[in-house]
Amino acid sequence: ILKKTDLTELHKETTKEFAYNDDLKISFKSLANPKFQRAYGIINQKSATDTPLNAKTIANINDDELTVDEALLFAVGEHLVHDWNVEDENGEKLPINGENFTLLSASVDDPMAFFHWCLECSGQIAKQIAEQAQHTKKKPSKGGSGKLDTAI
């Protein structure tokens, strides 16, 4: 019996909780989550073809434009965070989105270390999924004797 493993669905649905500095708990999705991968590709493409630096470019910067780092943080919040224990000043759980994740990142001691930790956690999930898929491929099927019968 050949069982097809849909890795795309596993990367969309698999989550795992991690703790950052013991008080912050975040459940992440896989780093290979298709939506995050598309966002990451767009961000990288934009940074590679970025507008040249000149006076007009600097003068026309508006508040809606994100830096590459801000865009990456936003993408993590939108596509990799599944759940968290982050609350607002009234004790209400904050909605999980890119804007709130960017605010959370700004509130930790070392935002860059926090960002890398988030990617590492999501990467662990992607690695675990890949290892499970490899294990499934290597595991023999129990659906037959393993002999090929070509007699008609």
CB 79 within 8 A of CB 36: yes
Residue-level pLDDT at 36: 93
Q: How many C-beta neighbours within 10 Å does residue 84 have? A: 20
- Give the model confidence (pLDDT) of 19-59 as tens digits: 999 899 999 999 999 999 999 999 888 777 766 667 877 77
Task: Identify the pLDDT of residue 120.
Answer: 97
Q: Which residue, 82, 96, 78, is CA-closest to 40?
A: 78
Q: Are 26 and 20 in contact (CB under 8 A)?
A: yes
What's the confidence (pLDDT) of residue 2? Answer: 42
Does 74 have pLDDT greater than 50? Answer: yes
- d(CA 75, CA 127) in angstroms, rounded, equals 20
pLDDT tens sequence across 81-139: 999 999 999 999 999 999 999 999 999 999 999 999 999 999 999 999 888 877 666 55
What's the pLDDT tens digit per position in 128-147? 988 887 766 655 555 555 45
Residue 49: predicted pLDDT = 72
The confidence score (pLDDT) of residue 60 equals: 74
Give dist(CA 120, CA 125) in Å, integer.
9
Which uninterrupted H or E stretch holds 81?
strand 81-84
* pLDDT, position 83: 97
Coil/strand/helix, residue 83:
strand
DSSP state of 50: P
Which pLDDT score is estimated for 1?
Answer: 46
